[in-house]
Amino acid sequence: MPFNLPIFLTWLRVALIPVFVALFYWPEPILAGEMRNTLAALIFALAAITDWLDGFLARRWGQTSAFGAFLDPVADKLIVAAALILLVELGRTSGWLAMIIIGREITISALREWMAQLGAHRSVAVAYIGKLKTTAQMVAILLLLYAQPLIPGLDPFLFGNGLMVVAAILTLWSMVYYLKMAAEQFRR
């Protein structure tokens, strides 16, 4: 297993998950609600930044590896799933939205693994629709974690859940796209 800065950043994202989750289980007197929300949003934002940065650095410095290609999406899916489950538990978003997003992630991960075994992993490579989905999802999660108005009069729950619905629609759309790409491989 290679060890370099991109791999370190990916491992950092994995290591942040228990810290992120633990914030919501600390007693209120130790960590007040607004501070908890702010710290959780900052940790999630750091994870999102390291997600972008590790891939950028790996490509730029020629430090891509099979292990990094495996670990990066796993780290992403783990922190997103943890955030969505926490948001549902806190009553900040709907369970059906979390199920759509988490279900798609599991489905596409399994599809990519299967296609890789068939030697056709490029047919389900990340597409632009997937990047749009990720952007909407990350911003929605950040707003719902922060849970405070960034702009006076703008309800973070209404806006965050609106973006969550957009993310769920893009999630389903991207899943259909990837399934169609995989189906084309089978027809060949």
Q: Which residue segments constitute the domains of the chain, with CATH numbers given?
A: 5-187 (1.20.120.1760)
Considering the entire predicted model, what is its pTM? Answer: 0.90
Per-block average pLDDT, block size 10, for the chain (188 residues)? Answer: 87 95 88 90 95 89 86 92 97 97 90 75 68 92 93 89 96 87 73
The answer to whether 80 and 43 are in contact (CB under 8 A) is no
178: tokens are: 């990837």
Between CA 61 and CA 64 the distance in angstroms is 8
The distance between the two most distant Cα atoms of the chain, rounded to a whole number of Å, is: 62
In the prediction, which pLDDT does 122 show? 61
| pLDDT for residue 1 | 66
**Tokens read off for 129:** 């629709």
Q: What CA–CA distances, in Å, run from 143 to 6, 10, 23, 74, 132?
A: 27, 23, 17, 23, 17
Res 95: pLDDT: 97
Please answer whether residues 97 and 133 qualify as being in contact, where contact means their C-beta atoms are separated by less than 8 angstroms. Answer: no
